[in-house]
Structure 1
Amino acid sequence: MLETSARLLRLLSLLQARPEWTGPELAERMGVTTRTVRRDVDKLRGLDYPVEVGFGPGGGYRLGSGAALPPLLLDDDEAVAVAVTLRTAAGSGVAGTGETALAALVKLERILPARLRARITAIPVATVAPRVAATVDPAVLAAVGAACRDRRVLEIDYTARDGAPTRRHIEPIHLVAWGRRWYLVAWDRDRDDWRTLRVDRMVPRLAPDGLPTGPRFAARAVPGGDPAAFVADRVADVRPFRCVVRVAAPAERVRATIWTDQVRVEELGPDACRVRLSTDDARAAALILTGLDTDFVVESPDTLGDELRRVADRYARAVGAPRVDQPVD
């Protein structure tokens, strides 16, 4: 009986590990016959686990969705990964996840072996909630993610950057978390072009069960092949004030120092780079550039230079020094 129970747990773990298995694959992994696999599947179904069986040459076994969430079986590395992810979920920008993630983490840590708790606590993780963050409805994020996975066309109501409401028919390709927001890389069928859409601005039209029902589409390759790089290129200059400065520091160090996502850094050499920054105004740009703690030269616009002189004058007055435009005797 104990051997049978252990085998059922092993079978359940395999079914959770990937979308579908054939009978011979399961039999090989478990070291049993395909007949035993069929009997064990019947036992799981008798315990109300929603194991679906496909018939025909391409048929196999898959764990479907049921009325209740079945227990998840995790190996050591998976359990550590889940726990660390839950600890960082508070800063994800997804509405309502903070307290829910904490509750799930408490349940998980309560049943973890001591060796795994030690591994988790050894990883220093801290999250800082952003001052301004557009939150995303988890149901919308899940539905968009399902549409990306299943390659289904989405019909969405979308609020454009200028506040205008639009209706769009899109082929969702990839979700990207960039800075403090979630973006969707999609092919817009109405505009016949690629688009980067903010998930917090969209309302997808879904079936009553919350899943997308649009027709399937053939996958397209994202320009450049990297969805994250594509989003970075599209969203790095969406704010009204734009400036260019030459910085006397390695590009890698500058990328690690600038906290905003509205930036492009071009390497000019081992100790120099060009920074193209997009902010709300010159004051915000001056604050970010001052934080670099290294020399830089303003290339454009002149208004940034005016703002930097104003800031420098304030710093000079703070320590009783001459103004930056005042000659020294």
Structure 2
Amino acid sequence: MPKTSSRVLTLLSLLQTRRDWPGRALAERLDVSARTVRRDVDRLRELGYRIRASKGPDGGYRLEAGDELPPLLFDDEQAVALSVALQAAALSAAGIEEAALRALTSVRQVMPVRLRHRLEALRFTTVVDAAVPVAQDTLVEVSAAIRACEELRFDYARVGDRPGADLSPVPRRVQPHHLIAAQGRWYLIGWDAGREDWRVHRVDRMTLRSHRGARFTPRVVPGGDSHAFLRGRFRGATDGEKWPCRGKVVLRAPASRVIPFVSDGVVEPVGADSCLVELGAWSWGALAALLLRFEVDVEVVEPPELTAAFAEIGQRVSIAAGGERRGERSPQGSASAV
């Protein structure tokens, strides 16, 4: 028979795994009498657990919510998951950083050595909470490779919507540097020695190989800020966080109306009903579309590429509205233009 303290902890673990436990089933699982189960339940109640007992031939026990938080038991996977969540919360800028850090410290202090080693290897930064599920073991393995400065070998899933496109996974070998949660996904920033360039990979599309590669000397991500580097890649930028396409226009609208919708641009009043706007986007067409959302007249200041993008959009709009198709001639014999 297990010692009393060990048996009580086992009882608590069982009560946490399902809503209702028949008394006879608990006695069989613990290899004790029904009377011993009742005494152990009383010991848990003294520790602050609210356990409701039901009488009768099918009577049993149910662990309920209490007024205070008593000690909890976690299995290995729950403990790792809890630590991942607490570390993310400690970096979330959500106002709970200090409490999350204290909770993380408390959890680590009482963990078995085998789990503590896994958690010590888990290091990441976060921008917003991740939403796309990623295997816990994958996060731990990637973090361990970052800490050990060892190459990661993995197969990377390709995505596409073209019929007949080859979507078979592509083998990759990357020197991992940063693991970041942003915009609902996990991203790995690493140096691809074969391409001699930095690459960003979505972790949910990675299937790790069984062995890691050679050790490497860490590099500094361009700009020295992994968050800024990732934001720049989201924008399609090759130089820091700057948008690859940036232009200036005059909008026939008051600056006060435009400013709330230009988060990372520059707005300068030109008059009571006009303003100068400098804004960026990942393409000239996207920039033109962003400016058209104000539904006012637009005068392009620079560059010529933005003027061409407006002309292209105008032609597409004309087609959508049932006007002349691209390349058709007007009655006067000239090509249609907008």
Give the TM-score taking structure 1 as reference length: 0.40
Decide which structure has the larger Cα Rg and report it: 2
